[in-house]
Chains A and B, each alone.
Chain A
Amino acid sequence: MDQLTASLVFVAFLFVLLGSGVWVGLSLIGVAYVGIELIAGRASGGAMINIIWGASSSWTLTALPLFIWMGEILFRTRLSEDMFKGLSPWLGRLPGGLVHTNIVGCTVFAAVSGSSAATLTTVGRMSIPELRKREYPEHLVIGTLAGAATLGLMIPPSLMFIVYGVTINESIRELFIAGTIPGLVLASLFMLYVGGYALISKKWNPVADKPMNIGQKLWNSRFLLPVIALIVLVIGSMYAGIATATEAAAFGVIGALVLAAAQGSLTLHAFKESLMGAVRTSAMIALILAGAAFLSLAMGYTGLPRALADSIATLELSRFELLMALLVFYIVLGCFLDGISSIVLTMAIVEPMIRDAGIDVIWFGVFVTVVIEMAQITPPIGFNLFVMQGLTKHSMGYIAKAALPMFAIMVVMAFLLIAFPEMATWLPDVLRPNPNG
């Protein structure tokens, strides 16, 4: 079979399997089998099991179940109530008022949680009823929450960065550090939008809370101490260079358990539920990663990534044009596939392309995460839309429309990242433990 036909068969088979509803991990294994046995004409069994064993028993991957478990534990605490009480006195006077608690709440919670679903459910459970009570515009409440919750993927710890780092074999700690500033910039853009909307809108008339004096505000801030302590423990230990991502995750689990115990929400039942939840989510991601490891091997056999990278190179796209093509590609892919699957599925092909183009892979991790964040709030299968639907009972279309401005802000963010790559590369450079290494 010549290269072109082989590639077409390979990709077509992948789409048929994924599209027809076969589980992502198993689809990848099936496609890889076809790639090696039928296209490259070799036996695949031994190679498959070797690479899957290696990928599944890797030390770097252990951060994944731990951060998931941490999120599950915190989900069962009163952390969101506390955050709302601590944040609202400070944010109530800003233009846009308490809608900012959505954004700041998500940003803070994202710093102790790795997924946007955990962020959305935990913050939304508290802020949606409180904001409704004060008659804030519903679409703004829903939209900002759906958008800001995606910061869970960008602000460390982030499951997306773990998956990306494991897939392309780069330091997870470095990715975590790289995501911080872009995450904060994105949060600020959301806040600017809310402030601007409040100033321009003529119907803006929410119920204001009783103003507090500075002493009361500070006293209320005590509710923020537990979450701040957790952030210092998890992110601080990584920044200070005293812990790897995995070790920070283990600290985080212990910290979350202590916090839950201190609040009295750590019953045996809650402990078991949180742990079994972590088993399910981590097995789900592990199956995809196992399939993806085999698929990358198969792609290597078929020579497809190299050929594609070479043919892209002959197009002589500028770096900007390549990034634009990838931006569109991932947005479209994100409409049909969840973020983790879209990353692991494509990295075998995209990685040689971006390395050839001289694009920093850590920076690209941040860039692609912004795009994956957009995919979380685009129909038909934007993940956050489903979660939001479960929380609010609004229709998918309504939520997607409410989140549209956030989508636009993320597009702006992607361009800002291209214009100012230092946002992602500066902090890792500064915090690299051994500058000579």
Chain B
Amino acid sequence: MPPTIRRALDVLYTACGAIAAVAIVAIVLLILTQVAARMFAFPFRGGAQYAGYAMATASFFGFAYALQHGAHIRVSLLLTALGRHRFWGEVWCYGFSTIVAIWFAWQACLFTYQTWRFKDVSQGLDATPLWIPQMAMAIGSVVLAIAFVDNLITLLTTGKPVVDEGGLEDSAPTSVADVHAKRGE
């Protein structure tokens, strides 16, 4: 893969991770505002819905970023047992997952498009046009699909995926998330 595309993709995943991080901060702020609204009796409607949208944003934008850091859980007993034939196991895993991710991304885009066409509005107090928060799902799942295609191509051309899946044995964990990430290893 040409280095410019490689770099562009890595920036894309990191940027999505950053958006997810902002969404988590937004959840904290929304909830605190809601608590303050209750205490000081000023109106703040739909805080729970907004926090929910931020949650979806944090998740969907985080998917590809988490994948690149090897954070998603899988059972790798068999893959490890395959030894030098592990390549074929990985081809199956990335191949299957790529198909699922593309199907999911397609459905997410279709769904968001329909929400926009029919002007669906949230049932909650916020009355948000739902296509706006659903864009997070559409974009996030498209980026996840891109990440899987990226990994599959890299795997087929170089024999190794982009995903960093080092063993926990090599070094003491520097982050709780790393520990979670290696639980399947």
Residues of A near any B CB (own CB < 8 A) = 17-26, 29-30, 33, 45-46, 48-50, 52-53, 56-59, 61-62, 65-66, 68-69, 71-72, 75, 115, 117-118, 121, 243, 246-247, 249-250, 253-254, 272-284, 286-288, 290, 336-338, 340-341, 380-381, 383, 386-387, 389-391, 393
Considering the complex of A and B, which 4 residue pairs feature the smallest CB-CB distances, nearest first? Answer: A283-B62, A277-B177, A286-B59, A57-B56
Give the residue among A17, A20, A69, A290 with the most B Cβ atoms within 10 A: A20
Q: How far is the CA of A393 from the CA of B169 in the complex (A)?
A: 7
**Cβ of B152 < 8 Å from any Cβ of A?**
no
Q: Mark B72-107, 1 if CB is under 8 A from A, else 0.
A: 111111110000000001101100110011011001
B35→A117 contact, CB < 8 A? no
- Please give me the residue from chain B that is nearest to A24 by CB atom: B73
Which residues of chain A are near B79, meaning CB under 8 Å? 20-21
* B159 interfacial by beta-carbon distance below 8 Å: no
The verdict on A280 contacting B110 (CB below 8 Å), with A65-B24, A250-B31 known, is no
Please, which residues of chain B bring their CB within 8 A of the CB of A50? 111
- Chain A residues with Cβ below 8 Å from B168 are 386-387, 389-390
How far does the alpha carbon of A141 sit from the alpha carbon of B54 in the complex, in Å?
A: 42
Q: Are B172 and A390 in contact (CB under 8 A)?
A: yes
- A58 closest partner in B (C-beta): B52
If A26-B96, A33-B100 are given as contacts, then 4 extra A-B residue pairs at C-beta distance below 8 Å, sorted by A number, are: A24-B72, A250-B27, A253-B28, A284-B72
B185: CB under 8 A from chain A? yes
Select one of B25, B59, B77 contacting A287, CB under 8 A.
Answer: B59
Contact A250–B59 (Cβ < 8 Å):
no
A21-B79, A25-B72, A288-B73 known; A72 vs B177 contact (CB < 8 Å): yes
**B76 lies within 8 A of A21 (CB):** yes
Is B158 on the interface with A (CB-CB < 8 A)? no
Chain A residues touching B, majority SS? helix
Q: Please, how many angstroms separate the alpha-carbon atoms of A50 and B137 in the complex? A: 11
CB atoms of A23 and B28 under 8 A apart: no
B51 contacts A62, C-beta separation under 8 Å: yes
Q: How far is the CB of A155 from chain B (nearest CB, A)?
A: 17
The distance in angstroms between the C-alpha atoms of A30 and B107, with both chains bound, is 14
Could you say which residues of chain B place their CB within 8 Å of the CB of A20?
A: 78-79, 89, 92-93
A273 to B173, CA, bound (A): 13
Q: Give the contact-size bracket for chain B.
A: 35 or more
Are A275 and B21 in touch, CB under 8 angstroms? yes
Which residue of B has the minimal Cβ distance to A336? B75
Q: Given the complex, which residues of B lie within 8 Å of A380, measured CB to CB? A: 77
29 residue pairs A–B, Cβ–Cβ below 8 Å: A21-B75, A21-B78, A22-B74, A22-B96, A22-B97, A23-B72, A26-B97, A45-B107, A53-B134, A56-B56, A57-B52, A57-B55, A57-B56, A58-B55, A62-B27, A66-B31, A68-B177, A115-B176, A243-B35, A253-B28, A277-B178, A278-B24, A279-B62, A282-B59, A283-B20, A283-B66, A290-B59, A338-B184, A386-B185
Question: How many angstroms from the CA of A247 to the CA of B30 in the assembled complex?
Answer: 10
B183 near A: Cβ within 8 Å? yes
Report the minimum CB–CB distance from A12 to chain B (whole Å): 15
In the complex the two chains form, is B24's CB within 8 Å of A66's CB?
yes
Name the contact of A53 in the complex, choosing from B92, B137, B180, B182 (C-beta under 8 A).
B137
In the complex, what residues of B have CB within 8 A of residue A389's CB?
Answer: 168-169
Q: How far is the CB of A65 from chain B (nearest CB, A)?
A: 5
Q: Is the CB of A118 within 8 A of B176?
A: yes
> B65: which A residues are within 8 A, CB to CB?
279-280, 283
A275 CB to nearest B CB, Å: 5
- Which chain A residue has the least Cβ–Cβ distance from B71? A280
CB distance from A418 to the nearest CB of B (A): 29
Which residues does chain B contribute within 8 Å of A53, judged by CB atoms?
56, 111, 134, 137
A62 to chain B, nearest CB (A): 5
| Bound form: Cα–Cα A338–B73 in Å | 8
| A390 with B97: CB separation less than 8 A | no
Chain B residues 132-174 with CB under 8 Å of chain A are 133-134, 137, 168-169, 171-173
Question: Which of these, B54, B76, B172, contacts A62 with CB under 8 Å?
Answer: B54
| Chain B residues positioned under 8 Å from A48 (CB to CB) | 104, 107
Is B183 within 8 A of A386, CB to CB? yes
Contacts of A243 in B (CB 8 A): 35
Inter-chain CA distance A187–B185, complex, in Å, is: 29
Report yes or no: A21 in contact with B89, Cβ–Cβ below 8 A: yes
Q: Quick check: A117 and B176 within 8 Å, CB to CB? A: yes
Q: Is the pair B32, A61 in contact by a Cβ cutoff of 8 Å?
A: no
Q: Which residue of A lies closest to B95 (CB)?
A: A22
